[in-house]
Amino acid sequence: MSAFLHNSTSSSPVLGKTVIFTADDFGMSPALNAAVALAHRHGVLKCASLMVTGPTAGQAVALAREMPDLCLGVHLTLIQGRSALPPKDLPHLVDSQGRFLNNPVRAGWRYYWQAGLLPEIRRELAAQIEAALAKGLTIWFLNSHVNLHLHPRIFPVVTDLAEEYGIPAIRLVRENWRTAISLDAHGFIPKIAQGLIFTWLCRKARRLSQAAGLLYNDHLFGLLNDGRMTGNYLLGLVPHLKPGVTEIYLHPALYGDQELQRWAPKYQRREELTALLSPRLKEVLAAAGVEVSDFRGLLDFSHE
């Protein structure tokens, strides 16, 4: 089911504009966890993607329990992290310490050409979902670290798991690269290439999501300006928001601690946190008639 929802009395789509702000990597570090709590309690952040095998996942879970209105998803991890299952159960997928590959290109090609990895991938992703559910958390959506869930070999596995565990929504990474470039031309050529690749990946992913009856976002921002979703950038996005549901994902933090610097030293994390806390952003969204919601709210609306 598209997140571009239809009401119960008409076949015409609901033409309102809705935005979902999501923080990824929840559970990666104390500085990020604290920023998620701050942005949810005092800003526009409604969703967080839990990395269940992250170094500070326990702290993230404890914070989530204190914030029942925070809409949680599982940030499925098959790269730049550790497995939920022990290495002996994943002999071809992780090293002896349970670590995945770090390089996205290398991992992507490996997962594509080595089809024999799929049973291990499925078991590991199921284990990550079960780890979140075992904490008593309600999981509303799935996405993944570096958006690897959209990999053509992996996405069918993810949609199957969403159905199996009753998780209603999934992220599609369909970003308007023309808009992204108009707001920040940094990395012009890579942005075009990345935008086109993910547009292609999402064509099949959208069909599979519909077949599985999953909710998904119509539009997205965060991929092409990853780590630089600053206040000025978000304010510039508002006039470009289209009817339907737009997910905007960020990686805020109080500061760039050692773990965060290890993986993304150039991310402007404090600036992203400031953006999520900005009263001006709330005012501009309201003036533009844009509703701030979450994936739980979309499910509630689809049932009206």
DSSP string covering 150-175: GSTTTHHHHHHHHHHTT--EE-----
Say if CB 32 and CB 18 are below 8 A apart: no
Alpha carbon distance 274, 182 (integer Å): 22
Say if CB 272 and CB 38 are below 8 A apart: no
List of domains in the chain: 17-302 (3.20.20.370)
DSSP string of 96-153? TTSBPPS-HHHHHHHHHH-GGGHHHHHHHHHHHHHHHHHTT--EEEEEEGGGGGGSTT
Task: Name the stretches of the chain with pLDDT < 50.
Answer: 3-14
- Tell me the one-letter amino acid at 64: A
The predicted-structure confidence for 52-100, as pLDDT tens digits, reads as follows 999 999 999 999 999 999 999 999 999 999 999 999 999 999 999 999 9
Q: Is 231 exposed, middle or buried (0-12, 13-18, 19+ CB in 10 A)?
A: middle
* The pLDDT of residue 301: 63
Alpha carbon distance 87, 183 (integer Å): 44
DSSP string of 230-289? -HHHHHHHGGGPPSEEEEEEE---SS--HHHHHH-TT--HHHHHHHHT-HHHHHHHHHTT
Tokens in use for 251?
């990686």
